[in-house]
Amino acid sequence: MVHSPGAPVTRLAALRGLATRPLPEPPAGLRRGPFREGSFRSRLHDAALAARLGRWLGVLFAVCLVTGLLSHWAQSPDPWVAFPTRPVWLYRVTQGVHVLAGMAMIPVLLVKLFVVYPRLFTWPPVRSLLHGLERLSLLLLVGGALLQVATGLMNIAGWYAFGFFFPVGHYWGAWVTAGALLVHVGAKLSTARAALAQPLSGEVLPPPDEEDRAPALSRRALLASTVAASAAVVVVTAGQTVRPLAPLALLAPRDPRIGPQGLPVNKSAAAAGVEAAATDPAYRLRVDGPVPRELSLADLAALEQVSARLPIACVEGWSAEGIWTGVRVRDVLALAESPEDRDILVQSLQRNGLYARSVLSPAAARDPLTLLALRLGGEPLHLDHGYPVRLIAPARPGVLQTKWVARLGPR
């Protein structure tokens, strides 16, 4: 059988024609409520304003997506993506920016939805199959954005009322939202360009008729107010990681200056159920390897002590740094002749919990600043900071800085 060169083109044109063919218009009697013509009279439902808000929202979403991926890879190491250990403050910055960008997005998202929501009630609701797909992507985009912001806020507050594991749900929710955003941008690109080319009026427009009693506000003033609100949210949140702004941190869940030995604590020894085991004089650190060892606190103190200024950076966005003193993990592993090319499992005295154990990559385990800390700020570790021994490593999420270490060795 001989195929005509034009056959694929013809089939493509036929599919395009099918996708764009107008669907029968619904009965006019169904056009009620917000679908009625003239239901939305505010002059702030403006394409030029919506395009500018959308551009700013897109920038914030891109920052959240990139920093969120970095956070995911730092917490859930991927064999293809090795999160670096330098600079030591890398995770502190990326996660702090992630939370701040998400907070800054809230006023922009809400105002954007106010400006464009009348378009959700266009008539007819679906004009063609292609238009229906575009509307579906818009539903996924709006729903995904609201879900990401809401669950992110709940995570910051430590309120896990949703029925799924936050890191996994937030990660996949980000990909769904990003895909819907790409479809939406592709469908609206030419329209958005035209809208951005239109000047944004600073004139306070009168109501379109006597019945509209909405407060008068110019489009330019609404845009400026939204940007100001977004900036204000950043200022009153950033203090949880930027010390000079700590007195202004009204929305921050943690004050980086408050806690045992001047550092915040998310989970206490009492909550972890390790008080008795951590203060037992018979405590020994077990080090696995070809020549397994058990080390007392005195044995650890007799090894070369190293001090380093390293941050504790939480996924919730807060961070603080301290001067930690202890022994290098690589020196302890060398005592057991542990191989240098293996992942290292670090296990806590805590028996239960998602983060009762963590894994060090070979690069992290051999880093000279990855320590088993015995002291903080020149004093023995407070029980809530991981006494008798805790892990502290550069550029590592706080949940993986395992406290009350009981055992380590090759995985």
Give the C-alpha separation, 372 to 360, whole Å.
12
Q: Which fold has domain 40-201+218-248?
A: Fumarate Reductase Cytochrome B subunit (1.20.950)
What confidence tens digit (pLDDT) does each residue in 99-133 have? Answer: 999 999 999 999 999 999 888 888 888 888 877 88
Distance in angstroms (rounded) separating the CA atoms of residues 389 and 295: 11
Model confidence at 253, pLDDT cuts 50, 70, 90, reads: confident
Mean pLDDT for all residues in the chain: 89
Closest CA to 99 of 228, 223, 239: 239
CA 29 from centroid of its chain's CA atoms? 46
Give the pLDDT confidence of 310-333 residue by residue, as tens digits: 999 998 889 999 999 999 999 999
Q: Specify the pLDDT at position 255.
A: 81
Asked if 373 and 391 touch (Cβ cutoff 8 Å), the reply is yes
Domain residue limits, the chain: 40-201+218-248, 261-410
Which of 24-28, 39-43, 185-189, 385-389 is predicted most confidently?
385-389
For the ranges 19-23, 243-247, 266-270, 301-305, which has the lowest average pLDDT? Answer: 19-23
- The whole-number pLDDT of residue 186 equals 85
Compute how many other C-beta atoms are within 10 angstroms of the C-beta atom of residue 148.
23
Q: Is the pLDDT of residue 356 over 90?
A: yes
Which one of 195-204, 214-223, 385-394 scores highest in mean pLDDT? 385-394
d(CA 325, CA 373): 5
Greater confidence, 296 or 355?
Answer: 296
CA atoms within 13 A on the CB side of 39: 14
Note the pLDDT of residue 215. Answer: 53
* Tokens 């200024």 sit on residue: 309
The answer on pLDDT for 342 being more than 90 is yes
CA–CA dist 361, 349 (Å, integer): 21
pLDDT over threshold 80, residue 201: no
Strands 285-287 and 405-410: parallel
Residue range 81-110: mean pLDDT, rounded: 93
What phi-psi label fits residue 241: left (phi over 0), alpha (psi between -120 and 50 degrees) or beta? alpha
The CATH architecture of the domain made up of 261-410 is: Alpha-Beta Complex (3.90)
